[in-house]
Amino acid sequence: MPQLIEKPTRIESVGNKPKQIDEYIGHVNSQTDAISVAQMRSPSGWMEPGQRPEFDEFTLVLKGKLCVEFEGGQLEVNVGQAVIARKGEWLTTPRTQVTGILSIYYTTG
């Protein structure tokens, strides 16, 4: 039987300013460990420490823009564009002006 997700669960975030993470599908909201689907809203200037995630991350920018720095360069992701960060790849998001993104984390495989 299909599982209806009626509403997301708000997840605490790290960073220099409060960021809203609403998890629709994932460990917390639907007891799904293989993947996480969340909508994030970040204030302008939000930053978090650089990291090497233990999962692939797929991010679609819905509003604003996302600056992604990685070993060897940086790129800017605008509204309607997406970026894929692979498991173990170092990255950070300085000078982010994103106010809305959809992130999907593939945690197994």
Report the candidate in 12, 24, 81 with the shortest Cα–Cα distance to residue 68: 81
For the chain, what are the domain ranges? 9-106
Contact 34, 108 (CB under 8 A): yes
User: Which are the contacts of 35, defined by CB distance < 8 A and separation ≥ 6?
Assistant: 25, 26, 104, 105, 106, 107
- Fold adopted by 9-106: Jelly Rolls (2.60.120)
Tens digits of pLDDT across the chain (109 residues): 999 999 999 998 877 777 888 999 999 999 988 888 999 887 777 777 889 988 898 988 888 888 899 999 999 999 899 999 999 999 988 766 666 777 877 776 5
pTM of the model: 0.79
